[in-house]
Amino acid sequence: MSTPRIIESVNALRQATRQWRAAGENVALVPTMGALHAGHISLTQIARTKAKRVIVSIFVNPTQFAPHEDFSKYPRTFEADREKLATAGVDAIYAPQPAEMYPPGFATTISLAGPASAGLEDRFRPAHFSGVATVVAKLHIQAMPDVAIYGEKDFQQLAVIRQMTRDLDLPIEVLGGETIREADGLALSSRNVYLDAAQRLVAPVLNAAMRDAARRIRCGEAMEAVMSNARAVITAAGFALDYLELRDAVTLGPPDIASGQPLRMLAAAKIGATRLIDNIAV
């Protein structure tokens, strides 16, 4: 247990990292939007193994939400987050106000291709990844950590961040942490608090159908039939399915079975107004 320092400005962040570096200490960054759960904490544990100093950023980034999305009602639980991060032993919480990240006149946005246009999340949230990549580029440049850790839960996002960090020559190792789940398979998400009791009972069907489909594909069943069966199971459970796709795990392009490249199954589906995403190795 320690008391993480709360840092609210770019200058104060740079001062902290400068002091650590002067003492020969390396730095890990775990970016989040707060409303922290065990998935986020698992990333801080990876961070601990990689660096002497761990910074967790908490910033609900307005530019990655579309106007009809949940920016204003996104859960904000700073005091509880602070306690969890104290228990996790992080060194600093970087929690800038929107005006610190986007001062008046801010006019730069990162434009993306590659994994950001794989036809998955980008089909349903067209401006999302450019908002994510821009804020993550800023966080990477502001903190300039040795390593930054992101969850595989947001698999396409992780690919976009790896690509952006490489393309902009940022000297930062990007690591992925595995998805932490409830006992029934539902991936932990800050948005799960939106689910009512009935929806919470239905929610694990998404992951269960994906695991069943992955197992059938590994057993050699015809891919197309397995995937359309899984889509039907998910829809019959009461989800409005945005997509359920099998992709190359590295490029996120269409799978080339003959190549022997690893495959990833990715999905997004709504229960009522709540949109869940998930992905698993096949």
| 8 Å CB contact between 43 and 2 | no
37 is catalytic: no
Count of residues engaged in binding ligand AMP, rule: CB under 6 A: 17
Phi, psi of 66 (to 5 degrees): -75, 160
Query: What does the alpha-carbon distance between residue 279 and residue 244 come to, in Å, rounded to a whole number?
Result: 9
Asked if 40 is part of the footprint of ligand AMP (rule: CB under 6 A), the reply reads yes
Asked if 186 is part of the footprint of ligand AMP (rule: CB under 6 A), the reply reads no
**Contacts with 262 (C-beta within 8 Å, 6 or more apart), sequence order:** 248, 249, 250, 281, 282
Asked if 33 is part of the footprint of ligand AMP (rule: CB under 6 A), the reply reads yes
Active-site position among 37, 40, 128, 140: 40
Sheet holding 274-281, edge to edge: 240-248, 263-271, 274-281
**What mask, x for binding ligand AMP by CB under 6 A, covers residues 142 to 181?**
--------xx-xx----------------------x-xx-
Query: CB of residue 104 vs ligand AMP: minimum separation in angstroms?
Result: 26
The nearer residue to ligand AMP, 131 or 177, going by C-beta atoms, is 177
Per-residue DSSP letter, 267: E
- Span from 5-13, 31-39, 231-239, 272-280 in contact with ligand AMP (CB under 6 A): 31-39
Residue whose tokens read 């009791």: 197
Residue whose tokens read 């660096």: 51
| 8 Å CB contact between 131 and 100 | no
Q: Which of 39, 131, 145, 204 binds ligand AMP (CB under 6 A)?
A: 39
Q: Which of 189, 192, 207, 279 binds ligand AMP (CB under 6 A)?
A: 189
Q: Catalytic positions, please?
A: 40
Contacting positions for ligand AMP (CB under 6 A): 32-33, 39-40, 42-43, 150-151, 153-154, 177, 179-180, 187-190
